[in-house]
A and B are shown apart, each in its own frame.
Chain A
Amino acid sequence: MTVSFELSDDLVGYGREIRDWSVEAVRPYARYADVHHAAPDHWRQIVETCPVAIGTHDRRQVKRQPAFAEGKWVRDLVVTESLTYGDHWISNVIGAGIGHLVVKLMGTPEQIDKWYRPIVDNGGQTAFGLTEPQFGSDTSMVETTATRDGDTWVLNGTKMYCTYGGQADYVVVFASTDKAAGPAAIRAFVVPKGTSGFHVAKFNEDKLGIRSWTTSELLFEDCAIPVENQLGWTGGDGDGPGPAPRTRSGRSGALGALAQNKPNISATGIAMAQASLDIATDLLQEQRQSFAPHRWSLVESDLENMNAALGRARLVNFRAQWLQDLQRANKTEASVAKAYGPPTCERVIRRCMQLLGPDGASTDLLLEKWYRDVKILDIFEGSGQVQRIIVGRAVFGGADRVA
C-alpha cells in the first residue's frame, strides 16, 4: 500500500451532510446557547432533523452510525468536526462523554456489557469524575475516598469541573481505596445518576466559554454503590482496597480513556477555527475594495496560511486515530494531536477577528464566542503542558528523564 491521505467518498459525503445540517440547524442557536448557558429548549426537535443517526443524552437512538472503510475512530473525527462546525452546543445534548471509555478499558466483560455497550449502541451520556478542587494535572492527588462496607463501596469527596456530571447516566468516579498505599490504590467506580449520597452541588460553572456545556461540581457523601461497580471487579485478589496491578489502577484507565478522546478535542477546535475562517473569508471578500491592494494580498496569504495550519492539525489527528483503529500504540501521537491543534485554532480565530477589525470581536458575529470557547481545549483532558510531558518521554526515551 502506498501512503494516501484520501478519505473515501462515502465518509467525505457523510461528513458534508452532517456539516451542512449543523450550519443550518445548530448554528442559529449558538448565541442563544452562550447567553443562556444552555441548549435551546427544543433541542430534541433539532436533533431529530439530523439526516444521520445521532443519539441524545437522555433518549436512546436505535439506529447506529454506518461503518466506513477508514474505521470507527477516523470516522468519529470527521463526525466530530462536522457536527460541531455549526456550533458545539450540540455536543452537550448528544455527546456520549468519556466515562464509558473508561469502562471499556478497565471493565470486566460483564461491566462492559452493562455500561459500555448500551451507550455506543443506543446513545446516552457518561461523565468522568477525576478533577478535584486541589488538583487537575496531578492525578495522584485524589482525595476522594472509597471505603469497603460489606457489599458496597462508600464514596466520600468532591469532584469538580465534571463535564455532563449533573446530567449523565452515570459518572465514573476516581477514588482512593487506601490513602497509605498511594496512587496505585486509586480505582474507578461507576456511580449511576440518582444514587443516594451523590449530590450535584453545582450544576454548571460560570465560564469564559463553552457555557452551554454542563460543568458540574459533584459531592459524594457516604454514597454507597455495589462492590461490582468498581471497574475491573472480579471478587479476586486484584480488587481493592489497596494497590491495584498497574494495568488495572484507576489512573491508567483514566489516562487511557483520555488518550482515545484527545484527537476529538482537537477536532472540535478545528471546527471552531474553520468556521471562523470561513465566515471571515466571506466577509473579507465582500470588503475587498476597502483594502489597499498591498494589504489585501497579505490578507489573502494569511487566509491561505490559516487554512494550511488547520489542514496540518487534521493530519496529526488522523494519524493518531488511524493507529487507534488498527489497535496500534498511539499514546504519543494522541498527545501530539492534542498539543498541536488547539493553540493554533485559538490563533486562527484571533487573527480572523483582527482582520475584520473591531467589529470582528462584536457579539454580532460568532467569532468572539468561539475565541472564548476554544481556550478550554488546551486545558482540559490533559493540558498542552501535560501533553508535552508525554511526548517528551517518547523523545527522551523514558518516563524518568522528563518531569
Chain B
Amino acid sequence: MFELDLSEEQIAVRDLSRDLATRVLAGAARDAETNRRVPDEVWRQVFETGLTAPASEDHGGGGIPDTLTHLVALEGLATGDPGIAIAAMWSGGSALLVGLCGTAAQQYAYLPRLASDRQGRGGVALYEGFGRAPSEYQTRIEHLGSGTWQVAGTKVAVPFAAEADPLVLVGTDPTTGELRAALIPPDAGGVAIGPRPEHGHLGLDAVPLHTVTFDLTIGPGQLLGGPGAAAGLLVGAVGRLRLSVAAAAIGCAARSVEYAAAYANERIAFGKPLAAFQGVSFLLADAAIQIEACRLDLWRAGVRVDAGPIGGLERAVSHAVNYAGSVAASVTRDAVQVLGGHGFMRDHPVERWYRAAAALSTIDFDPTYAAFAPAL
C-alpha cells in the first residue's frame, strides 16, 4: 500500500525527540563538545528514550523500534545537537546488533545489563574509510578450524572504543564472502586503540572516535549470532546504523534552516527583513527543497532495510547517506551565510552545525556517488 504518512506512533516519537532536543540537548551541546563527553545527566535523559540501548521488553528494554521509527527519533534528537544524538545512537549499536542478530544466549548475556545501565556505553566498529561499503570491508572474521576464529583489520571512527561493552566488530567472513560480526569485550587483547586527536574533531567531539586495529582470536561464543548466523539480518542492521548518520545530518540541516529563517525574519537590512531578499530566501528555500528529497530518500531506504535483504539495499543506503551528507554540509554552510558575520561567531549555534554536518559527511563517504562540483 502506498502510504507516505508516518504512523501515529512515529509522529509521537518524532514529537518527543524534538521536545527532548529542544529542552535538553540544545543547551548541552556546547558542554558536550568542550568536555568531549555527553554530560551524565543528559545521557541519563537520552537513555530514557531507549536510544542508547534499544532492547526488547523481554530483556528489560522498551522494545526495538523499526528502522524508520529509529531514524525519525534520531533526526528529532539531532535538531538539538547532532553530536549528542549520534553518540547515543552509536552507543546503542551494540544492543541493537545483539538484539537483532545475536543468539538467545548472547541476548541474555548482554541485553539486560545494557538496558539497565544508565551510564553504560556500547559501540560498533564499522567503517573502514576509502569509500568502502560493508560488502567491501576488508576486516576478516575467519574460521581457523577447531572452534577458533581470527579477527583482523582496521576500523575508523570507532565510537567509545575504549569503553564499549561489548564492542561489536563488523567484518567479512572470507569463507562465505558475507558479513559477520564479533563481540569484543573491553579488556580483549589484540585490540590497538589509536589516540583521540589532541585538539578534538571538527564537529563530533561529544563522542570519542578512534581508529582501532584488531588482531585477535575469538571463540564461537563471540561470533554474533553464532557460527551459523544469517548474514542477511546483519546486513539490515548495518544498513540501519549507516542510515542513522544520514538521519543525524538531516536533523541538523533542518534545524539550521529553522534557525536561519527565524534570524532572517528579524534582521533588517536595506529597509526590509533579510527574508524579503531572494538572495537570502532562495538559499533557505533550496535547503528546504533538498531536505525534503533527502528525507524521503532516507525513509525509503529505512523501510527497505526492514523489508529484508533485497537486492540493491546496500547501494540504496549508500545513496541516502552520501546525499544526506552533502546536502547537510551545504545547507548548514548556507545557514551560516544567512547570519553573515554573526553566523561566524560561537554565540550562535549555526557554526557548530556547519562543523558537525561536514564531519558527518566524512564518515561514510564514497566518491562514486557524486563527483566534486565547484560552487560556480
Contacts and interface: CB of A to CB of B under 8 A. Distances in A.
Interface in B255-286: 268-270, 277, 279-280
B209 to A, nearest CB: 7
B199 A35 contact: yes
Contacts of B268: 134, 138
A287 interface: yes
B361 A309 contact: no
B358 A347 contact: no
B346 A135 contact: no
A292 B200 CA distance: 30
Contacts of B277: 385, 403
A372 B269 CA distance: 26
B337 A353 contact: no
A271 to B, nearest CB: 17
B197 A302 contact: no
5 contacts: A140-B270, A343-B375, A357-B363, A362-B202, A372-B355
Interface string A59-91: 000000000000000000000000000000000
Given A207-B345, A208-B336, A375-B336, 12 more contacts: A209-B344, A290-B129, A305-B374, A309-B372, A350-B361, A354-B362, A357-B362, A358-B359, A360-B362, A361-B203, A375-B344, A383-B340
A358 B203 CA distance: 11
Interface string A282-307: 00000100111011001101100110
Contacts of B363: 357-358
The interface centre, meaning the residue of A302, A305, A361, A403 with most chain B CB atoms within 10 A of its CB, is: A361
B85 to A, nearest CB: 17
B130 interface: yes
B355 A208 contact: yes
The interface centre, meaning the residue of B130, B156, B199, B373 with most chain A CB atoms within 10 A of its CB, is: B130
B311 interface: no
A233 B226 CA distance: 87
A361 to B, nearest CB: 4
Contacts of B214: none
A205 interface: yes
Contact of A353 (B336, B346, B362, B372): B362
A11 interface: no
B277 to A, nearest CB: 7
The interface centre, meaning the residue of A161, A363, A389 with most chain B CB atoms within 10 A of its CB, is: A363
B199 A363 contact: yes
Given A208-B355, A291-B130, A368-B201, A138 B270 contact: yes
Nearest to B342: A136
A291 B336 CA distance: 34
Contact of B376 (A134, A290, A344, A360): A344
Given A301-B371, A309-B374, A364-B197, A357 B365 contact: yes
Contact of B130 (A141, A287, A309, A339): A287
B366 interface: yes
A135 B203 CA distance: 29
Contact of A206 (B329, B336, B346, B354): B346
Interface residues of A, number: 66
A12 B258 CA distance: 48
B341 A359 contact: no
Given A292-B131, A309-B374, A378 B337 contact: yes
Contacts of B365: 354-355, 357
A137 B376 CA distance: 22
A380 interface: yes
A134 B274 CA distance: 12
B270 A295 contact: no
A388 interface: yes
Contacts of A173: none
Contact of B199 (A31, A346, A389): A31
Contacts of A339: 376
B343 interface: yes
Nearest to A365: B197
B234 interface: no
Contacts of B343: 379
B368 A372 contact: no
B329 A350 contact: yes
B3 interface: no
Given A137-B340, A354-B362, A361-B359, A385 B279 contact: yes
The interface centre, meaning the residue of A292, A354, A378, A380 with most chain B CB atoms within 10 A of its CB, is: A354
B359 A292 contact: no
B376 A340 contact: yes
Nearest to B157: A358
B351 interface: yes
B376 A302 contact: no
A360 B131 CA distance: 13
A359 B129 contact: yes
A299 B345 contact: no
A65 B374 CA distance: 34
A15 B159 CA distance: 44
A340 B376 CA distance: 7
Interface string B324-361: 01000100010011001101111100010011001101
B376 A343 contact: yes
B66 interface: no
A356 interface: yes
Interface string A325-347: 00000000000000110011011
